[in-house]
Amino acid sequence: MGDEQPEVGVIHSQKELEILYQSSDLVAVNKPHGLLVHRSIIASDASEFAVQLLRDQLGQRVYPVHRLDRKTGGVLLFALDETMNSLMQQQFADGKVDKTYLAIVRGYTPDELDIDYPLRVDERSAGSANAKVGTVQDAFTHLKTLRRTEISLPFGKHATSRYSLVELTPTTGRLHQLRKHMAHIFHPIIGDRPHGCNKQNRLFKEQFGMETMLLHAERIRFRHPLTDEEITITAPWQAEFSRMLTVLFDSPDVNANTLPA
């Protein structure tokens, strides 16, 4: 948002990325779960990357102006020239880009919660954070619960299992911030490794054949650096996220509720 092992996630097979927005200097795609943004020494198993796929698809150089974890799907924004790349990276750094995520997490979460929990810079995040290892940085996320569900799936000493669909709005951009914040409040994101619950992850693999992380970058909103136009880009759910929403919240044998507006 160390000693983390490479994350495998979902096998990526599509060659063309879904384009959500395109102008003369910006393009946004719906990044699949399991696709790396660019090459990484900690994921030597990967052979496809969003940067190369989009470059070949558009026939020109592209510049990722922010990052998403390999196992996170959703809105990924690129600049089409170096000037726009610099301007948009500055907007992200200054907190001028509104980001909204959806996640499926363990347990019943509060209706709303402000998570104000500083995160320590580790070896993995030191470069992107421009800070020394061990530095403590402010990190803030707003949580809003959209739906809760209880399904007939035994887990441990419990006869049923409870999950929540939450909307997460970070106002800082620390590495793995959302994953660490949800683990901190004991509602880990399903499929997260290493911050999540390994027993839940194994349960989802065995019961549903699900191995990805249920975190989706749903929307970004910002003002174009040159024209001042307000731009909102929304990404549809990827297939695996959509499937698990149906399994957990819309199946006939579940007790699900949607909170009042």
**Which residue of the set 3, 69, 138, 228 is catalytic?**
69
Looking at residue 143, its amino acid is: L
- Output the DSSP codes for 174-198: -TTHHHHHHHHTT-PBTT-SSSS-H
Omega of the bond leading into 194 within 30 degrees of 0 (cis)? yes
CB 117: neighbour CB atoms within 10 A?
A: 14
CB 60: neighbour CB atoms within 10 A?
A: 11
| C-alpha 144, offset from chain centre | 16
Residue from 100, 118, 211, 240 nearest 166 by CA: 100
Q: Quick check: is 98 catalytic? A: no
Burial 138-154 (b: 16+ CB within 10 A, else e): ebbbebebebbbbbebe
Burial 230-244 (b: 16+ CB within 10 A, else e): ebebbbebbebbeeb
Which sequence positions are flagged as catalytic?
69
